[in-house]
Amino acid sequence: MKKSVSLLLIALLGIGFQLFAQQNKRPKLVVGLVIDQMRYDYLVRFADKYGDHGFKRLLRNGFHLENAHFNYIPTYTAVGHSSVFTGTTPANHGIVGNDWYDSSLQKIIYCVDDARYQTVGSTSTNGQKSPYRLQTTTLADQLRLAQNMRGKSIGISFKDRSAILSAGHTANAAYWYEGGDEGKWISSSFYLDALPEWVEDFNKNGKANAYLNQIWEPYAALESYTESIEDDNPYEGLFVGETAPVFPHDLPRLRKTNQNYDLLPQVPFGNTFTTDFAEAAIIGEALGSSSFTDFLCISYSSPDKIGHKYGVDSKEIEDTYIRMDLEIARLLKFLDKQVGKNQYTLVLTADHAAAQVPNYLKKLKIPAGYLDNNAFRSFVQKLALEKYGTKTLIENISNHQIFLRRSTLNDLGLDIRKVENYLADAILDFDRIYKTVTAHALQNTSYTSGILHLIQQGYNQKISGDIVFIPKPATLGGYYKNTGTGHGSGYSYDTHVPVIFYGKGIRKGHSKKYHPIIDIAPTLANLLQIEFTNGNSGTVIEGVFK
């Protein structure tokens, strides 16, 4: 009997020791760092301008994926954050764009709008948001579930969609920026009844105002920015009140004509302001200080705003990433001190990359151009009228998709498959259209490679349209006419992004193998020894762990 009791005690002690050892293997804090619109080549192109303690520290001591890509279309912000942190594509998680056409409501909806909730921290409606349209769990959700809802998870970004969709459904909070005449961080009653005291204090510290009361000048001598084209060129946009897209940018003057605090996300000081708030969150929420693992997503939105205005070859982008490197160095130093060296795990990536300005490429005799959305819409309407004798067949055209009106199909007794096939073939005659595919083809055929595979991974049967069309490479549409750049395609310039794992449990190394972006979440789940997200379709990246 005594022997049996002794054996039982030994067994229980062994289990307890294993659980304790497993808990010790987990980092105190997981940081998901997303740089909005960061192309992979920025790591290499500006390398000589980076210091030793930012990007280079991550590359030197972390595990670096040189050939990581988004494996779906469309490559937009909301979709990117959702895919990184759910480990799956829009086909499963349901976020098919920043906004999209809802055929049941017959209107365009925004990915995180939710009128059931109220703004916390402001009297505006900018906080009426939630993640309810995200159909799967995130890594942060799974981490909280694995710890019986202990440990905290928080999302931070200038953009509401970036903060909300990365943190997921069970987050303790998500915070985003309200510009205009406010210049502060807000949230939603989905998470909180009131802002914590540390957020209220931060919103009163005057930093947003201070950052906009300085001149944006080059961090280093402008002539040393040899990785970008001339400062004064016809391919860059302008702030309201400027006559040329050149340094210096007089922010104290420009804020008066650019919606005041709306200007902050459009300049590099927005990144500094984001780091300020992230550090305040780590201190205010005591992240990384308990026996449970916390999760923090920090999404830097300013590079995206700057890229859209100036393009990927501009002096402004080069300056932005020189300064971004300093923010990475500052954040790592703070984490070392506040959480402890080798006590946190960080992954750095982007939500998409970006195209070069088509007009600049055209000057270099590289095929490029712009898709005239209005002309295309008229072209499709004309096709429908001439073929079927109706002006009501085309219900909506958006996000490179065509939606057919079901009532018109029924009234005219049309076979939807035949209509899809006809229009898909006919619109190939329109300038800048490269490929088309129908919904029924996507539902009944398995594409394993190429553009059609990417479309299929981004196609959601419940939400997406009846025909998907793909513009030619280096083609922008929408409001891009002559200046600035965009993203959204499945071409390498939009899909190829940096992925660097760093910190506790991560070994030094790199991989040149192709890895889809959806592999990040299961890899971190494996490190944490928790269940994968419930829609996961990624795989664990071998070789990342010590």
The residue-averaged pLDDT of 151-168 equals: 98
CATH 1.10.3720.10: does it fit domain 369-472?
no
Q: For 492-513, how does the pLDDT look when each residue is reduced to its tens digit (9 = 90+)?
A: 999 999 999 999 999 999 999 9
The residue-averaged pLDDT of 63-69 equals: 98
Residue 110 pLDDT grade (very low, low, confident, very high; cuts 50, 70, 90) = very high
Q: For 24-49, how does the pLDDT look when each residue is reduced to its tens digit (9 = 90+)?
A: 689 999 999 999 999 999 999 999 99
Q: For 202-246, how does the pLDDT look when each residue is reduced to its tens digit (9 = 90+)?
A: 999 999 999 999 999 999 999 999 999 999 999 999 999 999 999
- Asked if the model's pLDDT at residue 19 lies above 80, the reply is no
- For residue 411, the surrounding DSSP H or E stretch is helix 406-412
Token duo for residue 236:
């860059």
Q: Which of 75, 77, 275, 533 is catalytic?
A: 77
The residue-averaged pLDDT of 399-419 equals: 98
pLDDT score at 331: 98
What is the amino acid identity at position 338? Q
pLDDT score at 86: 98
Q: For 414-442, how does the pLDDT look when each residue is reduced to its tens digit (9 = 90+)?
A: 999 999 999 999 999 999 999 999 999 99
- Asked if the model's pLDDT at residue 17 lies above 70, the reply is no
Residue 3 pLDDT grade (very low, low, confident, very high; cuts 50, 70, 90) = very low
Residue 478 pLDDT grade (very low, low, confident, very high; cuts 50, 70, 90) = confident
Q: For the chain, give the mean pLDDT.
A: 95
**Which sign, positive or negative, has the C-alpha torsion 374, 303, 155, 490?**
positive
pLDDT score at 339: 98
Comparing C-alpha atoms, which of 197, 199, 126 is closest to residue 164? 126
pLDDT score at 20: 39
Whether residue 394 contacts residue 409, with contact meaning beta carbons closer than 8 Å, is answered with: no
> What dihedral angle (degrees, nearest 10) is formed by the CA atoms of 179, 185, 191, 194?
-110
- Asked if the model's pLDDT at residue 249 lies above 80, the reply is yes
* 33-64+74-121+134-196+267-275+288-362+490-528: CATH, from 3.40.50.1860, 3.40.720.10, 2.70.210.12, 3.20.20.70: 3.40.720.10
pLDDT score at 9: 45
d(CA 432, CA 436): 12
Q: Domain boundaries in the chain? A: 33-64+74-121+134-196+267-275+288-362+490-528, 369-472
Phi-psi domain of 159 (left: phi exceeds 0; alpha: psi -120 through 50; beta: other): beta
Can 77 be counted among the known catalytic residues?
yes
The residue-averaged pLDDT of 324-340 equals: 98
SS (H, E, C) 271-334: HHHHHHHHHHHHHHCCCCCCCCCEEEEEEECHHHHHHHHHCCCCHHHHHHHHHHHHHHHHHHHH
Share of the chain above pLDDT 90, in %: 94
- Asked if the model's pLDDT at residue 304 lies above 70, the reply is yes
Share of the chain above pLDDT 70, in %: 96
Residue 16 pLDDT grade (very low, low, confident, very high; cuts 50, 70, 90) = very low
Starting at the edge strand found earlier in the chain, the sheet holding 184-188 runs: 119-120, 184-188, 173-178, 153-157, 294-300, 29-35, 344-349, 499-503, 63-69, 509-516
Terminal Cα distance for the chain, rounded: 43
